[in-house]
Structure 1
Amino acid sequence: MGAERPPTLDEVWARVPAEVAEARFGRARAPLGQLVAQVSEGYTRERGDLRRASTGRDAMHARLRFFLPRDLAKVALPLHELDAAGLLPARRWRVLDLGAGLGTTSLGAAWYASRRETPPEQIAVDAVERDAAALGAFEALAARHGELGLPAMTLRTRVGDLKKGVRERGPYDLILLGLVLNELPFAERRGLLEGLAAKLAPGGSLIVLEPALREVTRELHRLRDELLEAGALSVFAPCPHAAPCPMRATKKDWCHEDVPFRLPDPLAEVARAAGLRFERLTFAYLTLRRDDARRAAGDEWRVVSQPLKTKGKLELWLCGGAGERRKLMRLDRKASEANAAFGEARRGDLLRLGSDSKRVGPDDAVERRHPRLAGPRTGE
């Protein structure tokens, strides 16, 4: 067995969305890299008018041809965590996708499902989205599920805002809100999620994905705390505890994912032209349930930083216990076989520590769980 490589999209994800974009919206009026840069600016710096940044012919080309394939794999991580715990259905997935847009998150769920040893026989999606043009593009992509290498998909669409999702009948195995909850006034978010909880099938999960922007993510931390206090939903992941989020103790900290991912070469070139990263996915998420299932065991700590390597030592920020955030350090000369997992740990990993000390010694055993969705292994 060799080293793991990050998951990679097949080039069909560059070709098919481009064909759908041209068929539905006509030819783009500028190079794709330029259009992607414009939309990215609207997403990250001009968030007061997201609708303007995401509609119109050129924006649709950027969203379909670049942002959709770039973002669809984000939902794979929370799905993989559920799968590892045996919490995904085997044969048929019933999905409600709110603020579905072009179908990015549902298509991402289908892409993840296609990578399972035994994919589901069918994925049935109810999609709610206020933009009829975006839903039309989603329908066109779903109709080509076989060409995209996805399981059989059925799609029912409804034009409307997020609140209309609460009126869908259900029950659903998965309810998805992909990069959209932040567009709702904060005061309305908890009520929406608690209303959706009633639409979950027994054992179902609600996944919220958000951009890895500080203020957006800190609002997600605050929402998490309010949901746990109200008691209608529990947090399966990413949090290893149900105590208040320690990131909220200061005004500058936030917790997000940063995972390896490879775009097809044509889309990597577009990212370069737009000045965007293309080898990693960054996002924040919550996986919510009505039962008490949790990804982490009670004695595990979650790594919430990248490794901090300085001369002679390695440090990691961890979250765990009763809502504690702590920095753990290992001197290079204290590295050993027992604590080797500390040196291999990355953001999002779960660690079981053999000591309560803030310093890892050579005799301190460290166990690591690294539930990343890997690509094919070299040497196989």
Structure 2
Amino acid sequence: MLDRSDSFLKLLFECIYGKTLSSDTFYSLAQSKLSEIARGVAELSDIYTRRRQCVSKSLLNDPLLRRAYLIYFFPCNLFKLKIILKEILAHPKGSRFLKRELRLLDVGCGPGTQLLGFLDFLAEEPLATGWLDCVAVDSLRANLQDAQHLFEQYLRWVDPSRDFPKCTLQTYLAELSQGLLLEPKRKFDFIIFGNVLNELFLETENRIEQRCEVVSAIWKQWLAPEGFLILIEPALKETSRELLLLRDLLLEKSDLKIYSPCVHSLRCPAVARENLSDWCHEDRAWSPPSLIQKIDSLVGNRKSSLKYSYAVFNRMGLSVREAGLWQSQKMAFRGGYDQSDNPADLLTGQRGSQIWRVVSEKIEEKGKSSVYFCGSEGRAKVTRLKKHTSSRNEDFKRLDRGQVVTTTGLKKKNSKDWRVESETQLKGLM
């Protein structure tokens, strides 16, 4: 019997090859196409990382590259969105977004990666919304056709025993630089730009400003007051830094606030004037399906983790700071959370404390361990000597990239060098 990940890959094979497959036929077909798909994956990987001048909106018009993307990159990118959505749902006010009718706008949808990521997220959540109205926009008709087909096939594939929401999809053929003329309905609860902004205005020096204009025109017209704007980009140094510069520009020119990954809405220290080589990205553990592992062995890729850069904005002032505190403290709130309260009230009692995001892997050295934190104080290397290990800071040994943590009593040696002392309280929140 197929597990869920292999069953999903079978769905993708059925969409690509246009026929229903038994489990045995799927495995046989996948094995016979393995070398061919691996060639396409190797070509796409090289274009995405080393030959970025070859990136274009028509890239997936090539049949081999299209198959490679759908089989290999599609499942990986889908999973990234689910991680981001779970982070939004972790907020004390987050669950209300799954208790009403939702509207989703996928801008530059490609073959429907973010659409299916959202559907798959709902399929795994017990608090699913009753109705999801989706709109997908792309400049290639073939992408919209793929997105429509995969959307419909997914709804047939999802577990029929689940009380899955009613889902609808409209597709629009449009160039992003020319604005969006959509049917005038209720505004969107989620607007997603998934791996598309880095492909815009590549030949222009002021591309960050131009991308800001495109994103701003869309969110100002179409984002609901309580909605979320999600930008996802590749984790390369160039694309990540450009996303961070865009993040800063959007915050400067609007009333948007950062929800995540940052725990503040200040300018990003990674792209400050004195920092010409820093960048920030996520690196999350992932257990790839066996087919993707086989492709990796042929190509030489390593997909034991998922790397990506992202930024989530909102106008409500909600932050992953409160989500972290809520997840850590919710057992104490046995009476529930009053959604009329200001989420910032969760910070009461945290005076003198700091909230950080872990933005690096652990650095182990003789007699000490270090990790990079980022927060309202900036980006800093935080070190704990082994002799300062205590019950108050025992969570330090379990820190991992992407975690939200709170500290009290960090010793600041200078602006970029902080120390965990024996009396320092450090707690991983989420």
| TM-score of the two chains, using structure 1 as the length reference | 0.89
The residue aligned with 1:42 is 47
8 Å CA contact retained: 2:179, 2:217:
no
Report what 2:343 is aligned to: none
Q: Which residue of 2 aligns with 1:303?
A: 358
The verdict on how the C-alpha distance between 1:115 and 1:135 changes in structure 2, with shifts beyond 3 A counting, is: same
Residue 100 of structure 1 corresponds to: 109
Higher mean displacement: 179-188 or 15-24: 15-24
Post-superposition Cα deviations, 1:193-252, rounded to whole Å, max 9, x if no partner, equal 222222112311010000001011111111111111112322111111222111013111
Deviation at 1:29, TM superposition (A): 11
Provide the C-alpha distance between the structure 2 equivalents of 1:45 and 1:327, rounded to a whole number of angstroms: 30
Q: Which residue does the alignment assign to 2:11?
A: 16
SS at match of 2:310: strand
> 2: distance between equivalents of 1:207 and 1:167?
20
Q: Gaps (5+ residues) in structure 2?
A: 20-31, 202-206, 323-346, 348-353, 412-417
- Unaligned regions of 5+ residues in structure 1, if any? 1-7, 371-380
Query: Shift of residue 30 of structure 1?
Result: 5.8
Hey, what does 1:196 align to over in structure 2?
Answer: 218
Q: Find the residue that maps to 1:31 and give its secondary structure.
A: helix
Q: Determine the structure 1 residue equivalent to 2:295.
A: 270
Q: Does the Cα contact within 8 Å between 1:271 and 1:277 map onto a contact in 2?
A: yes
What is residue 207 of structure 1 aligned with on the other side?
230
1:62-85 alpha-carbon deviations (Å, 9 max, x no partner)? 111111112101111221121111
1:137 to 2:159 alignment: no
| Structure 1 residues 274 and 93: alpha-carbon distance in aligned structure 2, compared to 1, 3 A threshold | farther
2:212 and 2:99 map into 1 onto residues whose CA distance is 30
Matched ranges for 1:173-192 at <5 A: 173-185=189-201, 186=207, 187-192=209-214
CA contact (8 A) 2:115 2:151 kept: no
Q: Which of 231, 235, 245 pairs up with 2:268?
A: 245
* Contact 1:308/1:315 (<8 A) preserved: yes
Cα offset, 1:149, TM superposition? 2.4
Q: By how many angstroms is 1:254 displaced?
A: 0.4
Q: Residue 212 and residue 336 in structure 1: after superposition, are their counterparts in 2 closer, same or farther (change >3 A)? A: same
Deviation at 1:120, TM superposition (A): 2.2
Within 2, Cα distance between the matches of 1:202 and 1:63?
35
Residue 180 of structure 2 corresponds to: 166
Alpha-carbon spacing, 1:30–1:23, altered in 2? closer, same or farther (3 Å): farther
Distance 1:188 1:9, change over 3 A: farther
Give the helix-richer structure, 1 or 2. 2
- The corresponding residue for 2:70 is 64
Q: 2:87 — aligned with what? A: 81
Which amino acid counterpart does residue 211 of structure 2 have in structure 1? R
Q: Give the aligned partner of residue 229 of structure 1.
A: 252
1:275-354 alignment, distance < 5 Å:
275-297=300-322, 299-322=354-377, 324-354=378-408
Aligned-residue offset at 1:281? 0.7
Report the CA distance between 1:314 and its aligned residue.
0.9
Counterpart contact for 1:99–1:130, Cα < 8 Å: yes
Tell me the amino acid that sits aligned with residue 363 of structure 2.
Answer: L
TM superposition shift of 1:21:
1.2
User: 2:139 and 2:176 mapped to 1: Cα distance?
Assistant: 8
**1:364 matched residue in structure 2:** 424
- Using CA pairs under 8 Å that are at least 6 residues apart, name the structure with larger relative contact order, 1 or 2: 1
Shift of 1:165: 5.9
Q: Residue 11 of structure 1 aligns to a residue in which SS?
A: helix
Per-residue Cα deviation, 1:24-59 (whole angstroms, up to 9, x for no partner): 9xx979621111111111111111221254321111
2:102 & 2:218 partners in 1: Cα distance? Answer: 17
* Distance across 1 between alignment mates of 2:75 and 2:103: 22
Contact 1:125 1:156 in 2 (8 A): yes
Q: Please give the secondary structure, in 1, of the residue aligned with 2:384.
A: strand
**Match of 2:282?**
257
Query: 1:122: how far off?
Result: 3.0
Q: Do 2:232 and 2:311's aligned partners in 1 also have CA atoms closer than 8 Å?
A: yes
Contact 1:303 1:345 in 2 (8 A): yes
Mapping for residues 142-161 of structure 1, pairs under 5 Å: 142-149=151-158, 151=164, 152-161=166-175
Q: 1:267 to 1:153 in 2, by over 3 A?
A: farther
One-letter identity of the residue aligned with 1:158: Y
Paired residues, number = 361
Within 5 Å, give how 1:104-115 maps onto structure 2: 104-115=113-124
How far, CA to CA, are the matches of 2:402 and 2:235 in structure 1? 14
Larger Rg: 2
Cα 1:239–1:273, aligned 2, differ >3 Å: closer, same or farther? same
Amino acid at match of 2:43: Q
